[in-house]
Structure 1
Amino acid sequence: MTEARHSNCADHIENAVLDPTTISNVNSVFTNSTKSPVLSSGKSASLGIAILSIAFIIGFPGNAFIIWTILTRIKKRTVTCLFILHLAIADIIVILTAPFFLLLLGIGRWIFGDIVCKLCHYISCLSMYASIFLIMFMSMDRFLAVAKPFTSQKMRTKPVVRGIIASIWVLASLLATTMFFYRSVIGIAGRPQCIPYHNSPKHMVFQYTFETLTGFIIPFTIIVSCYIYIGLRLRTAKFQTKQKTSHLVIMIIVIFALFWLPYQVVNMLQVSGEIFASQNLTIAALKARPNVTALAFFSSSANPILYVFAGGNFIRSAGVGFMAKLFEGTASETSSFRKISQVFRQKSHTESVELEKCLEKAEPSNNMVSNQIY
């Protein structure tokens, strides 16, 4: 049974109509295409090695520094600070898979066996889900601080936050299990390759659609809705508050979207190609996948660079502690959200009281008028 599956997948790979110059072995890091060849040519392998090397050189020490800063330099960790900590953990675990793929690109074959093949891609998918869910809850935390400040204050306890973060990791772990079913080591041209395969086109459509819905569309709909509400709320408030950390979180969201949106679009292109039997869409998706895969991998290295730019003003005064200064601002920023919301509530309450007084004064006048009429 397994041999039949592998043979079917190999036939798909051999029959794929692709321009060899567009096939990059970086595709083997995240790609979910059953038709994507992973055997490398000289230029594509060199490009893949360069991309993965840069991502590893920036991403590993950068995310390790974030984790070290939050764990050792910040005594009172805010909710945002904890989310950023786990976001760095999600990034660093996927960066740790880079050496496996660097060796694959270097020698042109997968030598680590089927279990490690599945595990490396499972970690990549786990990181994607954990990152987007952490970002989603950061947005929801700010939404609650504005819309329901008292509820937010009750929920911002360590047990609740730890429970939310633990639930995020459990959910991400479950959703990423598709990689164990749709990834395997298959021999191609006498070389073992760690590539995806599906029993039928329906499995491919299910995997990509499920991944895009749960890993991008649904979370980002929630994120955008939260920030639209916050933006409309703050727009009517006459406050001049410094919200550096709020801007930082928004930039984290924007960068994640920029890196992952093209990847998800390619997934949907390939699904559309299968549903509408369009070879052009399928080929376009397969040709674009190496580039969007490289962007997705770089998303795990982008946040440390972002924090350096955001905390640039603190570098001279705080030295290596500049990032701690940046993250410490999350407490005052959230309290300012609550103050704005409380002012709105007080204003609304005052207006209601004044309206009731006006109505009470109007009642005697109405009674006098009615008496005169009758």
Structure 2
Amino acid sequence: MVVIFVVSCMENRRTSTDVYLMHLAIADLFFALTLPFSAADIHAGHWMFGTFMCKLISGLQEATFYCCVFLLACISVDRYLAIVKATQFLAQKRHLVGIVCALVWVCAFLLSLPIIVNQSMDSWRMGLRILHHTLGFFLPLAVMMFCYGFTMCTLCHTRNSQKQKAMRVILSVVLAFIVCWLPFNILELIDTLMDSIDVALYVTQAMAFAHCAINPILYAFIGKKFRNQLLMSLFKKGLLGRNTMSKYRVGSVNSTGNVKV
């Protein structure tokens, strides 16, 4: 919610990356809202909230998962175009960024429909999991690796420290995604073929679900510009005194007010 608050306070000063990060935070928030139900399910050993809630929670988890990974891929493409191709086309065409985000949410919802429509899905289990791993992890991961690989090569040949700092939070977010979701995806893929790794699957699922809480921490502790913008937003809302803001503020917020991550 902190990320959503900070970016929303920017009003007309948001960059394309800011918009993607705000939608990513919204998806993480929706995913986090489903976690108490998953925890209760694991603790009780069975689902106790009825068929409707089962479909709703499972569908919401699936949709927000797809949304997160697609948005991370969009951010990698955005940074690739801005740094490697030296173009701000999408940043200048803000309505296109909004369209891309809308398409991401629509695609994520459509990909979650099989789980919502048919929760048992025994006959579809293999196909849905392959689809989940392919479109929801390995393909977006390949896009991120390609884009960030070329981006890092470009940054290694430039002395633009501002761009290098701007990549720090985003790369940390991607790394957090890989660390949190890769073990679960690997074991779930194995579980598709084997049914004897329940404990390991629960552990890696907990790691994967923890991902929704890691992104805001990365923004707050690694992105200096984000911290400055947060303090400025709290100050403007009257929630923070001038002395306190001056004490904890790092660096300075530039005239555009954008969050440099």
TM-score (norm 1): 0.58
- Counterpart in 2 of 1:179? 115
Q: Which residue of 257, 278, 283 maps to 2:196?
A: 283
Summarize the alignment of residues 1-374 of structure 1 with structure 2, pairs less than 5 Å apart.
64-73=1-10, 75-104=12-41, 109-150=46-87, 152-153=88-89, 156-184=92-120, 197-199=121-123, 203-241=124-162, 243-271=164-192, 274=193, 281-284=194-197, 286-311=198-223, 314=227, 318=231, 320=234, 328-330=258-260
Over 3 Å counting, the alpha-carbon distance change for 1:217 and 1:207 in structure 2 is same
Please give the per-residue CA displacement for 1:304-330, whole angstroms capped at 9, x wherever unaligned: 221221146846x93746799598243
Over 3 Å counting, the alpha-carbon distance change for 1:300 and 1:232 in structure 2 is same
Unaligned segments of structure 2, at least 5 residues: 236-248
Residue 89 of structure 1 aligns with an amino acid whose one-letter code is: I
- Alpha-carbon distance in 2 for matches of 1:149, 1:227: 14
* Matched residue SS, 1:124: helix
- Alpha-carbon distance in 2 for matches of 1:77, 1:251: 21
Quote how far apart the aligned CAs of 1:107 are: 5.7
- Alpha-carbon distance in 1 for matches of 2:253, 2:205: 34
Residue 172 of structure 1 aligns with an amino acid whose one-letter code is: A
Quote how far apart the aligned CAs of 1:104 are: 4.2
Over 3 Å counting, the alpha-carbon distance change for 1:223 and 1:105 in structure 2 is closer
Please give the per-residue CA displacement for 1:117-140, whole angstroms capped at 9, x wherever unaligned: 111011001111000110101000
Quote how far apart the aligned CAs of 1:103 are: 4.6
Quote how far apart the aligned CAs of 1:212 are: 0.3
- Alpha-carbon distance in 2 for matches of 1:146, 1:109: 49
Over 3 Å counting, the alpha-carbon distance change for 1:115 and 1:162 in structure 2 is same
Q: 1:209·1:267 contact (CA, 8 Å) conserved in 2?
A: no
Identity over aligned residues, as a percent? 26
Quote how far apart the aligned CAs of 1:250 are: 0.5
- Alpha-carbon distance in 2 for matches of 1:306, 1:154: 25
- Alpha-carbon distance in 1 for matches of 2:231, 2:144: 33
- Alpha-carbon distance in 1 for matches of 2:170, 2:128: 30
Over 3 Å counting, the alpha-carbon distance change for 1:95 and 1:164 in structure 2 is same
Residue 134 of structure 1 aligns with an amino acid whose one-letter code is: L
- Larger Rg: 1 or 2? 1
Quote how far apart the aligned CAs of 1:168 are: 0.6
* Matched residue SS, 2:203: helix
* Matched residue SS, 1:97: helix
* Matched residue SS, 1:176: helix
Q: 2:30·2:60 contact (CA, 8 Å) conserved in 1?
A: yes
Q: 2:18·2:259 contact (CA, 8 Å) conserved in 1?
A: no
Q: 1:318·1:325 contact (CA, 8 Å) conserved in 2?
A: no
Q: 2:31·2:212 contact (CA, 8 Å) conserved in 1?
A: yes
Residue 77 of structure 2 aligns with an amino acid whose one-letter code is: M
Unaligned segments of structure 1, at least 5 residues: 1-63, 185-196, 275-280, 334-374
Q: 2:32·2:212 contact (CA, 8 Å) conserved in 1?
A: yes
- Alpha-carbon distance in 2 for matches of 1:147, 1:232: 9
- Alpha-carbon distance in 2 for matches of 1:168, 1:229: 24
Quote how far apart the aligned CAs of 1:265 are: 0.2
- Counterpart in 1 of 2:245? none
Quote how far apart the aligned CAs of 1:221 are: 0.3
Please give the per-residue CA displacement for 1:286-342, whole angstroms capped at 9, x wherever unaligned: 331100110111111111221221146846x93746799598243xx8xxxxxxxxx
Give the root-mean-square deviation of aligned CA atoms.
Answer: 3.0
